[in-house]
């Protein structure tokens, strides 16, 4: 397997290094504590050197066929692509969550501004309404009272 140099924190690179180390790792039996040797059983001199030398996993496996190598390479590529895909999906999700929070904050600010403007509008419209009504009442005694009232109400006389 050919490994390329990648950033240290790249999950795909970490996975590749872990797989490379699996082949170099000692077998599980060599990691277990050894049982005490039986005192009554002498070891055979010819068998002792062969049994003492650990046999690597690659030596125990028969040579892989070309088809098996291709299948294994395809699985490795697929696994690396899956890792990258999960990373992209996680980053996209985080970006969308950040955008969502930003838009909610903006929405809240805009709602507050709308409320402030409504209150300001109500304060500005009330004096105008009172002044307009007073003008209509003051003109109501004159000859143009009906025209002024209709104009203020938005109707034609």
Name residue, tokens 């004096």: 127
With contact defined as beta carbons under 8 Å apart, do 15 and 80 qualify?
Answer: yes
pLDDT for residue 6: 47
The number of residues making up the chain comes to: 157
Among 72-76, 95-99, 127-131, 147-151, which is the least confidently predicted range? 147-151
Q: First CA to last CA across the chain, in angstroms?
A: 94
In terms of pLDDT, which residue wins out, 60 or 107? 107
In order of 45, 64, 78, 82, 91, the CA distances from 86 in angstroms are 56, 31, 12, 6, 9
pLDDT > 70? residue 98: yes
Residues of the chain with pLDDT > 70: what percent?
43
The phi and psi torsions of 3 (rounded to 5 degrees) equal -105, 140
CA angle 18, 89, 78 (to 5 degrees): 45
pLDDT tens digits, one per residue of 16-56: 676 666 555 455 445 445 555 555 555 555 555 555 555 56
Tens-place pLDDT, residues 75-88: 999 999 999 999 99
Q: How confident is the model at residue 1 (pLDDT cuts 50, 70, 90)?
A: very low
Confidence of residue 155 (pLDDT cuts 50, 70, 90): low
pLDDT at 93 over 50: yes
Burial per residue of 22-56, b for 16 or more beta-carbon CB atoms within 10 angstroms, e otherwise? eeeeeeeeeeeeeeeeeeeeeeeeeeeeeeeeeee
* Per-residue pLDDT at 79: 98
């Amino acid at each position: 397997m050919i490994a390329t140099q990648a950033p240290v924190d790249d999950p795909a690179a970490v996975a590749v290094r872990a797989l490379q180390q699996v082949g170099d790792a000692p077998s599980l039996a060599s990691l277990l504590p050894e049982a005490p040797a039986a005192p009554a059983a002498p070891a055979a001199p010819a068998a002792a050197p062969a049994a003492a030398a650990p046999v690597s996993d690659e030596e125990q496996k028969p040579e892989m066929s070309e088809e098996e190598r291709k299948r294994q390479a395809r699985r490795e590529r697929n696994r690396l692509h899956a890792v990258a895909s999960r990373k992209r999906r996680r980053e996209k999700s985080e970006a969308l969550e950040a955008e969502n929070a930003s838009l909610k904050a903006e929405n809240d600010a805009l709602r507050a501004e709308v409320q402030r403007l409504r209150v300001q509008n109500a304060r500005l419209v009330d004096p105008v309404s009172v002044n307009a009504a007073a003008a209509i009442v003051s003109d109501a005694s004159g000859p143009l009272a009906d025209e002024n009232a209709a104009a203020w109400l938005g109707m034609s006389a």
